[in-house]
Structure 1
């Protein structure tokens, strides 16, 4: 993606999402964005994000997911709760050195999922007519966004306070940021900026990764043949060994299946809005500087010029005649260019390790004889309609 497309619009809606100012990483641009994206990626890596330490955390979460299923397997389980909580816990561990308390995390996840639904309509209304918040605070989604901002701010502010008092042990991103801030060499390192970067991290990781897994579980629940094929591959290649990200090159069919889930159920059908930084000539059309453009990832993932039978779910489309993975150059589940999601290493590893771990241990069956619909709920992001499944131990 060319650099002319790296800006972000400066709209009421975006400022509202960033606690009133265009700061943080997701919706900032220019020097602030470059400096802080680079710092955040580098320092998250320094504390183990994207490395062996992260894989160890994912395996720990896999174990707690399997324990949860084991404790509740006598009745149907809705996979949503446990999956989203696990992703958030790993993210928060590297960001802030600890887990978020369970009741608080559940409350936060409920707010975030309501936000995704409210934003699909409210984004338009609040952006076009910001005054609508005074007339229809509930209906426009304004009340919900304010409530969510307050809840997330409280969690982040409490954690920052504990870092200042040095009551959290270990190394994490927040300590790195506060050290930089106390060094006083760079004016852009403020507590407010730290707070909004943490907000960006929580929002980015809250549902996208877990939604892919929900769709993956839903698909094997609806398709016994695919489920058995995946289980057979896992048994032949891994046996009962705990999966690692490195195994994704050995579990070809499983990997292709997860790619097809991310194509077929594109979680972010419209990538975040971009602002054009200068006049651009695209296919003979002039796009004026400062125009807001949206990238329709969903359309690319269903383009019949790229994919044969795009409306059909076919994992094999990602496997070539030599049994290797192919066609991934047209997949944009994590965006594109320098605005690409910096958490993609966590997302990919988490999706693979947790899915393989669950498939290895359980057969997934329909809970009430009625197949749940695969029709997604489309908001800011795409999510599966709430469903339950029965998890039957494999051995």
Structure 2
């Protein structure tokens, strides 16, 4: 018996060592990264971080290179960091990196449907349909600008009602930005006190916070086990189901309405396309209610997360810099005068346009871009990235790339101005991603940021509350990097 125990004590470590060496050999063609152990992969590297935040993958890139592999258990995730690597991946290898990378958790939530998480033929169909619907409904045109101006004006009136006293602007901003999308998707706006709006905000906040928790990591590593266990991951799934059910109810209401000659909103447009697909009797069609529900969800959260967070940060950043506010106000007064500001005025307001871009660069609202997946074996920088590998483009690292930005970690509008004060479009500014899967609502988001901020800055001077020297500019450490809760004083300029 003692001899058997001795043999096992010698043999077991040898077998484990051989297994470990086999893993290393099978992974030799992947880009370098943290040493991957059985079961946990390379997650030990993240565990040593004091805090997981937007700089975590950027720090890893400094150590392993701008294309590196992090093994999550038994499956690899290849990170692309910095402008050159991200552009090479998303543009030069766009077809190879075209599919959506669905980890077990995101597969569970999205089922691979919608404009954000579908792949292959299904994604191309949803993307094309989404583009046609947004164009038909006036995105990028005067009709959409009018809707944004209406919401911006309502936000101005809400701020004015505070009479210069300290108040929390976050919920009001979120509601106004949300209503631009609600009117586009559903055909009407939700007041801030609507219970469905409250559910939506709380769900979005919970899902954003869940992304950097241990339960999220455990689900990605052991999905079949976690599906059988209670925990925050179950609540995250319930939140997603609740959000999808709101869209499902709106679809039901639209189907009961009398048809109009022209589509009133995105749901109307999509339902008409569904009828056309039914008449074709195409069994492979992906134009259905499930994809419609998920597309509404994807478009809404894609737009809300970016525009709302950027406007919230803009007020913080500008309240800390009265000189920048005053320079914007003077430029608007000198160029536009008493006339209404329209989106085309961004061409005549170079400093204002530069500040808006710099706010988005300086406080980009996400740690990483939504993962991709290789459609075939991709040869990149001497490595072989096999078909089916998850690819994570780190857009934050692009906007903080010290090879291209003079002061990457400081707010500096001169990043977007030449020596004569003219606006300079930067190829390194990937605020809306790039390549075939770039942001579907980019035109609407650009219009929102410009109109909301110029309307607010024309009417108000923002400053910290009495007794507060400076508002916190560092984001909350979760997946979407929102600002910390804050209060601000909106002082009417005409006073």
**Shorter-chain TM-score: which interval?**
over 0.9
Q: Distance in 2 between matches of 1:238 and 1:17?
A: 47
- Pairwise CA distance, 1:341: 0.6
CA distance in 1, matches of 2:389, 2:158: 48
Provide the residue aligned with 1:15 in structure 2: 107
Q: Please tell me whether residue 389 in structure 1 is matched to residue 488 in structure 2.
A: yes
Moved more, 212-221 or 99-108: 99-108
Q: 1:132 aligns with which of 211, 226, 249?
A: 226
Which stretch has the larger CA shift, 107-116 or 217-226?
A: 107-116
Give the aligned partner of residue 105 of structure 1. Answer: 197
**Post-superposition shift, 1:142?**
2.8
Correspondent of 1:49 among 117, 139, 151: 139
Q: How far, CA to CA, are the matches of 1:375 and 1:394 in structure 2?
A: 28
Aligned counterpart, 1:377: 476
SS at structure 2 position matched to 1:339 = coil
What do residues 105-149 of structure 1 show as CA deviations (whole Å, max 9, x unaligned)? 1331122022111123254332222223543512xx431x23322
Higher Cα Rg: structure 1 or 2? 2
Query: Following TM superposition, by how much is the alpha carbon of 1:241 offset from its aligned partner in structure 2, in angstroms?
Result: 2.8
The 3 A distance-change label for structure 1 pair 99 and 272 is same
Structure 1: distance between partners of 2:412 and 2:164: 33
Distance 1:182 1:306, change over 3 A: same
Q: Is the 8 A contact 1:48 1:94 kept in 2?
A: no
Does the CA contact (< 8 Å) of 1:79 and 1:388 recur in 2?
Answer: yes
Would you say the 8 A contact 2:354–2:413 is kept in 1? yes
Q: CA deviation at 1:268?
A: 2.4
Q: How does 1:339-354 map to 2 (within 5 A)?
A: 339-354=437-452
Offset from partner CA, 1:268-321 (integer Å, 9 cap, x none): 231100101111111111111111111111112112211112222110121112
Q: Residues 72, 168 of structure 1: CA spacing in aligned structure 2 closer, same or farther, 3 A cutoff?
A: farther
1:348 Cα offset (Å): 0.7
In structure 2, runs of 5+ residues without a counterpart are 1-90
Residues 30-50 of structure 1 show CA distances to partners (whole Å, capped at 9, x for unaligned) of 000001110111112112122
In structure 2, what is the Cα distance between the partners aligned to 1:360 and 1:72? 17
Partner Cα separation in structure 2 for residue 372 and residue 168 of structure 1? 50
User: Which range moves more in the overlay, 335-344 or 95-104?
Assistant: 95-104
Q: Is the CA contact (8 Å cut-off) linking 2:164 and 2:492 kept in structure 1?
A: no
Kept in 1, the 8 Å contact 2:367–2:394? The answer is yes
* Residue equivalent to 1:28: 118
CA displacement at 1:240 relative to structure 2: 3.5
Q: How does 1:321-360 map to 2 (within 5 A)?
A: 321-360=419-458
Residues 333-389 of structure 1 show CA distances to partners (whole Å, capped at 9, x for unaligned) of 111111101101111111111101100000101113212211111322121111110
Aligned residues: 390
Match for residue 178 of structure 2 among 88, 113, 118: 88
Cα distance between partner residues in 1 of 2:486 and 2:297:
29
Instruction: Report 1:200-215 matches (<5 A).
Output: 200-215=298-313
Query: What is the match of residue 67 of structure 1?
Result: 157
CA distance in 1, matches of 2:191, 2:321: 36
Residue 168 of structure 1: CA displacement?
Answer: 8.5
Which residue matches 1:223? 321
1:116 aligns with 2:214: no
How far the C-alpha of 1:167 sits from its partner, in A, is 5.9
Q: Distance in 2 between matches of 1:16 and 1:72?
A: 43
Partner of 2:300: helix, strand, or coil? helix
Q: Equivalent residue of 2:212, what SS? A: helix
Give the match's secondary structure for 2:124. Answer: helix
Shift in CA distance, 388/168, structure 1 to aligned 2, threshold 3 Å: farther
Please give the alpha-carbon distance, in whole angstroms, between the structure 2 residues aligned to 1:135 and 1:151: 20
| TM-score (structure 1 length as normaliser) | 0.94
Q: Is the 8 A contact 2:462 2:489 kept in 1?
A: yes
Q: Once the two structures are superposed, what CA deviation does each residue of 1:212-237 show, in whole Å capped at 9, x if it has no partner?
A: 11111111111122122122112212
Distance 2:429 2:356 in 1: 12
Consecutive unaligned residues of structure 1, counting only runs of 5 or more, are none
Change (3 A) 1:290 1:322: same
RMSD: 1.8
Encode CA deviations 1:186-206: one digit per residue, 9 max, x unaligned.
432211111111111222122
- Tell me the TM-score normalized by structure 2: 0.75
1:367 aligns with 2:465: yes
